[in-house]
Amino acid sequence: MKREVLIISLLLMTFTLRMHGQNSNISTPKLGKDKIEDVIKAMTPEDKVYLLVGLGYPPPSGPSIIAQGFAGRTWDINRLGITTSILSDGPAGLRIDAHPKGTDKTFFCTAFPTATGLSSTWNTKLVEMVGKAMGNEVLEYGCDVLLAPALNIQRDPLCGRNFEYYSEDPLIAGKIAAAMVRGIQVNGVGASIKHFAANNEETYRGSENALISQRALREIYLHGFEIAVKEANPWTVMSSYNRLNGFYTSENRDLLTTVLRDEWGFQGMVMSDWGGGSDVIAQMNAGNDLIMPGSEQRKTLLNALKNKTIDEKVLDRNLTHFLNFILKTPRFNAYPFSGSPDLKAHDLVARDAATESMVLLKNSDNSLPFKKIKKVALFGKTSYHFIVGGTGSGEVNFEHAVSLKEGLANAGYSFVQPLESIYSHYIDSVITHADEAMIKKVADFMSDASVAKEKVVDFISEMPLSKKEIEQQVYNSDIALITIGRNSGEGRDRKQIDFYLSDTEKNLIRDVSKSYHAIGKKVVVILNIGGVVETESWRDYADAILLVWQPGQEGGNAVADILKGKISPSGKLPMTFPKVYDDVPSSKTFHPAMPICNPQNTLYEEGIYVGYRYYDTFKVPTSYEFGYGISYAQFLYSNIKISNNIFKDSISISIEVKNIGKAAGKEVVELYVSAPSVEIEKPIQELKAFVKTRLLQPGTSEVVSFKLDARMLASFWSGINAWVADQGQYEVRIGSSSKDIRQKVSFALPEKIEVERLHHVLYPNMPIYELSRLNKE
């Protein structure tokens, strides 16, 4: 009997084990094969927390990861079929280690023009091509997401990260960002639009509270993000470091859920900036799905689950966003990473983008393109140490960058050798004798501190030249080029002294100009800069001024293409160049000033009057207005037509643009609207649309068309939390810049239109006394 009982017991045990095994297989769902909610149900609390918190910084590598030096990595759970994902910088090109450890293979990436340069093209099709090339490198080097583009508003010229941002205007920022996202994501990798929102300064970004009215926030600081979300569907959005109206953005449910998801319809994943925020529970509740780079927050979250201080359903919601993201990644879909993107093809894209990004600010007596020029004198240290891009997360580890001298040599020009020797000796001396304090100061800007010593040249003073040294070059050259350089980066803002040219720089421009003009020779100033500088005090000395921004690795060739006349410049300014810094509407409030002992609050007292909205409305003279840029070609605007004089659902406008010059060229056609101020105050005009023509040969023309809908006419009325188009007469102004209006046409809106009513959120946590046309003296 005992034996029979034992046998029966063993049989039951075997059956139970078999059934358990079968049930185990059934109860272990896999991502991509089973429903996401079933995958989440199969997770332990530890699984959930580890997935929503990154693997720390620097992130560990792994057997399936071919790149190194990426910014972050997420957790993987093999039993659930959840793969890791690799997140990499940056806005001007993929940033990974070029020489990873353990292999002889190189991982060079293409350095494209910085964001300010790309937006100066006003060419969304070209920017989309740049994004496509960037995304291909992300894909082939085994990454899943490019942490770009950045589209914060250039509120103030001194923001250290302006080179990563597109414009002072949200329409340009949004449209260019949307084009970049579309280009990146066509490769099957993700983009991450950042820094959401109002990350408009660097020095105090971790503690600053940006105090912004609801109207200014909606119309200026959020609108670009709204355009990018709705038009390009980015995989991810990155919240910013700063506080906004009292709350850290990564802890702000009104921003990340109510506005981003409920109002705009965002379906992707939200991640924090690296180390952003202070309360992981608040971040989870707000809808910040992924904490990066992650580490200590895991313990806090696990304790919160145990102590019931966070609802597990919140994590499940965030996990749904995260897993939907993982499903799209190339690593999850087993893409065979080649490690060999087509870098030669991307060189050509970088060169086209750089050439089209350059803005010709001055060209007296048609000094450009070069005529009968063979020998060039290169003045200024930056002529021999050309700045490719900014510092910090926006850096790119490229194989070779074409310097200004190399580009000009490729175009057939020769140089004054004694002058080159003087500057080369100075640069070598700076690098050799840079003290530790200076190297550390520069290293603070750098993602790779090992190259900080060479970058010291970008931040050191210009080398003075005596008048005798200058005059020695005059008879040995046909023309003088003077390059002025500026660099900046993440974590620190520029100072006013950096906005203005130094006495040495201004004296160099003055003395070279006088010496060359004395014998009838020309002087060209090249601005190799990442952000706006003052030009008013010295621009009259130069015959021509070419703004080349930080043009990427093909910059030298691109400059030569413009100077030689191979390509006509077609870039336009996406921001204003003020005469002096004090004219900037944010100049008195740029850095936090309250309280003085521990600066935290930044009052955006200029309200909606940012950039040209301020200068044009209050008639403040500028050196170069928004949208400005000249060409070797000449364009005539004519035959403006409007579909109706009374606005109903929408209205269409067309205009003919003809090249009446002698050189082929492209023209940016800018449409501004002057709206009635019947019930709410408005700027004198606002950019509502733009288009870049195709390359127009002399004598040819193109008809360009625009369509305006009610939302494009509307302002945000914070009292009723709605976008409203005011009744009255509207004037459409089409031109070549905000001040160079060529054609006008008007239409009427008989009754105001409430276009969209939104939530009453994101109001300031203390009073703001905003600039107004009614109280401006």
Distance CA 28, CA 171 (A): 48
Backbone conformation region of residue 607, classed left if phi is above 0, alpha if psi is from -120 to 50, else beta: left
Q: Please give the distance of CA 152 from its chain centroid, rounded to a whole number.
A: 7
Strand ordering across the sheet containing 209-211 = 247-248, 243-244, 209-211, 601-603
For this structure, is 273 an active site residue?
A: yes
In DSSP notation, 14-35 reads HHHHHHHHHHHHHT---BTTB-
Which element (helix H / strand E) includes 254? none
Task: Produce one character per residue of 462-485: b if its CB has 16 or more CB atoms within 10 Å, e if not.
Answer: bbebeeeebbbbbeebbbbbbbbb
Helix axes 467-474, 503-517, angle to 10 degrees: 40
Distance of CA 303 to the CA centre of its chain: 38
Using alpha carbons only, how large is the chain's radius of gyration in Å? Answer: 28
Task: Please give the Cα distance from 573 to 566 (Å, whole number).
Answer: 21
Alpha helix (H) residue ranges in 249-311: 253, 280-286, 297-307
Other Cβ atoms within 10 Å of 703 Cβ, number = 12
Q: What is the dihedral of CA 259, 265, 271, 276, to 10 degrees?
A: -10
Residues 6+ apart with CB under 8 A from 510: 538, 541
Contacts of 199 (CB under 8 A, 6+ apart): 152, 161, 205, 240, 241, 242
Q: How far apart are CA 136 and CA 190, in angstroms?
A: 11
CA distance 725 to 753: 5
Which is catalytic among the residues 273, 511, 616, 726?
273
Q: In terms of DSSP bridges, do strands 650-659 and 635-642 run parallel, antiparallel, or are they unpaired?
A: antiparallel
Interatomic CA distance for residues 332 and 429, integer angstroms: 51
Amino acid at 594: M
DSSP assignments along 378-426, one per residue: EESGGGTS---S-BGGG----S----HHHHHHHTT-EE-HHHHHHHHHH
Q: Which of 735, 756, 711 is nearest to 174 (CA)?
A: 711
Phi, psi for residue 732 in degrees, rounded to 5: -90, 125
Backbone angles phi, psi at 548, to 5 degrees: -105, 0
Distance (Å, whole) CA 555 – CA 350: 8
The per-type count for the chain, helices as H runs and strands as E runs, is: 23, 28
Phi, psi of 292 (to 5 degrees): -120, 150
Q: In which element (H, E) is residue 727 found? A: none
| Structure tokens, 721 | 């939390």
- What is the set of active-site residues? 273
